[in-house]
Amino acid sequence: MKLKKWQLENIERMIDEFCEDEYGCKCDFSDLLNVGLAYTTDPETDEELQVTADLQNGVLTRYRNGDIECQILYDSYEDMLPDFANLDFDELTLGDWRPYAVYAIAN
């Protein structure tokens, strides 16, 4: 999936708004294949959780201890809009992605 320039700018704006609200700073878009959205430690398992977005291919990925836990692949800009317009730290890091994920490892 290739985003048009205006679509990419709109998604970047939504991510920036999330980062400014959550972390007090703008996001680093220097690597569109790996845009960091969230990082924390699972309070129950003490495992590291990281969420990144690949804006060139339309993929949202959550890692657990460096291994892919689940991914959401977007077919279009329109599919991305609802998720990126409502980014939430807790949903990104600890939410249940399985209804939406194309790749998920059962816990």
Report pLDDT digits (tens) over 21-70.
Answer: 999 999 999 999 999 999 999 988 999 999 999 999 999 999 999 999 89
Q: Give whole-number Cα distances, 40 to 6, 49, 50, 58, 76, in Å.
A: 31, 5, 7, 23, 29
Q: How confident is the model at residue 99 (pLDDT cuts 50, 70, 90)?
A: low
Q: Which domain holds residue 21?
A: 5-104
What is the side-by-side strand order in the sheet with 35-41? 35-41, 48-54, 59-64, 67-73, 103-104
91 pLDDT above the threshold of 60: yes
Q: Tell me what pLDDT residue 100 has.
A: 66
The pLDDT score that the predictor gives to residue 95 is: 83
Number of independent structural domains in the chain? 1
